[in-house]
Amino acid sequence: MTIQNSVFYVGGSKGGVGKSLFSFALVDYLLNREVNVLLVDTDTDNPDVYKAHSSLELPNLHCRMNSLDDADGWADLLDMVQKFPEYAVVINAAARTKTSTNSYGEIMKAALQDMARELCVFWIINRHRDSIELLHSFQEVFADVRIYVCRNLYFGEAQRFDLYNASKAREAVERKGGTLDFPAVANRVADWLYSRRMSLRAACAEMPFGTRAEVQRWRSLCASLFTQVLGENA
């Protein structure tokens, strides 16, 4: 996988599973590797990811908000991707996108192929049954796409995700993508990022020592996760 040609879709189709926090970590990882990043936050009602990163004003980071509630929103998203051909794209998907994804997912896949872009999905789950049901619905549209299901360990150790672990959805995922464990981070870190709407890069300069140490531990674990998918020299 070539990072610069990739479109990373961070989804889950429900609120509270950790999509935004995962996007924080992914953008931080890419910027630390000096990758050009286009961040698109589709959670226009609560755009924490957009607001946390737009203030960085880095030359290799562009931030946009874009609703995916209708056809116009999906067209706008594809126009954005086309305008930044040398940028990896990170899409933080809103919880409400199930219906529109089912309607416009095929169009998105075809358009990205025309642009020679590779779509890579990170699907964040908790331990509830609806996480698996929403994943199955997404797979019906994106059956040929590389999907990495990320068990958010904030909700318990990997073996406690028994509904997913024993599911047919997992079997389908691992034929092309894989199952990953998204490391839990202390509540004090998440509270800091969300309450102040700060990126990891900006927050580390202001955090108390103990909180900063926890961030660095978590960043290292997240980097290992992303390297597992993207490789050392991708």
Residue 234 clears pLDDT 60, i.e. is over it? no
In this predicted model, what pLDDT tens digit does every residue of 183-218 receive, in sequence order?
999 999 999 898 899 999 999 989 999 999 999 999
pTM metric for this prediction: 0.95
Terminal Cα-to-Cα distance of the chain (whole angstroms) = 6
Q: How far is residue 55 from each of residues 84, 120, 202, 221, measured CA to CA in Å?
A: 20, 26, 9, 26
Confidence of residue 136 (pLDDT cuts 50, 70, 90): confident
Q: For 3-230, which CATH superfamily applies?
A: P-loop containing nucleotide triphosphate hydrolases (3.40.50.300)
What digits encode the pLDDT tens for the residues 13-69? 788 899 999 999 999 999 999 999 999 999 998 899 999 999 898 999 999 999 988
CB 122 within 8 A of CB 9: yes
Of residues 80, 103, 104, 94, the one with CA closest to residue 7:
80
Please state the domain extents for the chain.
Answer: 3-230
126 vs 14: CA distance, rounded Å: 10
Write the pLDDT tens digit of every residue in 60-89: 999 999 998 888 999 999 999 999 999 999
